């Protein structure tokens, strides 16, 4: 058959086949996760536009018998390509994580088996690394396309008997040159960690609440959820605010701007997130960041 077509016919046939392949690639179906996130954006549009946070954010949480999970969906005023570039890379994630009040240190290492973020977590006050807990997160770049990405941090073990820590960020572009983010923060806990958390909630953390409104108080004020769900909601929000602060001031010389932005954002929700004074937070974080950047 090829001899009957001649060289000219073969060239035309190959050109048509190549065009078909290129066209099919250009119109390939989106990744299922991308389609799901775009559908979630459409579903949450009313809540993003009108909510208690006074910013385009939606927060959900789940407390199971041995696990906690928080989800934040947010619309950020940054193009997708910019967000994709800024929130991919282990060193960048360390710059994000160190903004969190309880993160004392973060340093990535890479070998033949992959990349690990060595994270130290502790109290809301200054600590030596020996006094804090080390959590090793495996850093993974998941699906990355021109219109979707997801990045995952997984740690098998955490402090005080907690385990299966997971931080997942996924994003898609949306109209208006903006980006829709979905952040998940979750972990499991055993008997020891559950007892420790219940002791905390019964004493120093007895007045701590989350963001989900669970009715009204006698004076008409919102009655916010407490307990374990309150814990995971507060931390999920702190991680999201760290991402937002980093996006708004990503350059290396903008460390102070990021710190100021993170603290100011947490003070928008003093009932849930106020822990220390601004000067104490800034002093502590400048010391921790200097320690993080010091040569090993």
Range 150-160 average pLDDT: 96
Q: Which residues pair with 151 in a beta bridge?
A: 141, 169
- Residue of 34 and 4 predicted with greater confidence: 34
Q: What is the pLDDT of residue 13?
A: 43
**Residue 222 is assigned to a structural domain of this protein:** yes
Q: Give residue 4's pLDDT.
A: 40
In a domain, 225, yes or no: yes
**Per-residue model confidence as pLDDT tens digits over 10-61:** 444 444 334 443 334 444 567 899 999 999 999 999 999 999 999 999 999 9
Tokens representing 63? 């407390």
Is residue 215 situated within a structural domain? yes
pLDDT digits (tens, 9 = 90+) for 93-123: 999 999 999 999 999 999 988 999 999 999 9
Calculate mean pLDDT across residues 248-277: 96
Say whether pLDDT at 204 is over 80. no
Angle 88-92-98 from CA coordinates, rounded to 5°: 135
| Position 287 confidence tier, pLDDT thresholds 50, 70, 90 | very high
20 within some domain: no
pLDDT class of 7 with cuts at 50, 70, 90: very low
| Structural domain contains residue 91 | yes
Per-residue pLDDT at 198 exceeds 80: yes
pLDDT at 103: 98
Domain that holds residue 113: 44-293
Residue 17 lies in a domain: no
Answer whether 135's CB lies under 8 Å from 163's CB: no
Which residue matches tokens 């208006």?
176
Separation of first and last alpha carbons in the chain = 69
Q: What's residue 241's pLDDT?
A: 99
Number of domains making up the chain: 1
- Give just the sign of the alpha carbon dihedral 258, 85, 186, 214: positive
CATH of the domain at 133: 3.30.530.20
Q: 10 Å Cβ neighbour count for 143?
A: 13
Taking the model in full, what pTM does it have? 0.89
Region 80-94: mean pLDDT is: 97
The answer to whether residue 30 sits within a structural domain is no
Tell whether 9 is covered by a domain.
Answer: no
């Amino acid at each position: 058959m090829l001899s009957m077509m001649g060289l000219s016919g073969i060239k035309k046939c190959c050109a048509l086949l190549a065009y078909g392949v290129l066209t099919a690639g250009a119109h390939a179906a989106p990744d299922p996760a991308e389609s799901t996130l775009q559908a979630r954006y459409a579903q949450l549009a009313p809540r993003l536009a009108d909510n208690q946070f006074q910013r385009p954010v939606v927060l959900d949480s789940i407390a199971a018998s041995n696990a906690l999970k928080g989800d934040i969906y947010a619309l950020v005023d940054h193009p997708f390509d910019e967000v994709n570039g800024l929130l991919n890379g282990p060193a960048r994630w360390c710059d994000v994580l160190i903004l969190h009040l309880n993160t004392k240190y973060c340093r990535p290492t890479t070998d033949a088996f992959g990349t690990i973020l060595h994270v130290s977590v502790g109290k809301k006050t200054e600590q030596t690394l020996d006094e804090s807990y080390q959590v090793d997160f495996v850093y993974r770049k998941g699906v990355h396309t021109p219109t979707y990405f997801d990045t995952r941090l997984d740690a098998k073990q955490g402090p005080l008997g907690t385990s299966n820590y997971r931080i997942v960020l996924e994003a898609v572009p949306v109209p208006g040159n903006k980006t829709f983010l979905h952040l998940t923060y979750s972990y499991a806990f055993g008997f020891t960690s559950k007892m420790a958390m219940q002791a905390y909630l019964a004493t120093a953390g007895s007045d701590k609440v989350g963001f989900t409104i669970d009715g009204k108080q006698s004076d008409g004020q919102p009655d916010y959820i407490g307990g374990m769900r309150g814990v995971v909601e507060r931390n999920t929000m702190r991680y999201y605010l760290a991402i937002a602060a980093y996006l708004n001031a990503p350059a290396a010389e903008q460390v102070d701007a990021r710190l100021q932005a993170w603290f100011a954002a947490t003070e928008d929700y003093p009932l849930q997130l106020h822990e220390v004074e601004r000067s104490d937070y800034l002093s502590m974080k400048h010391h921790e960041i200097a320690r993080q950047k010091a040569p090993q």
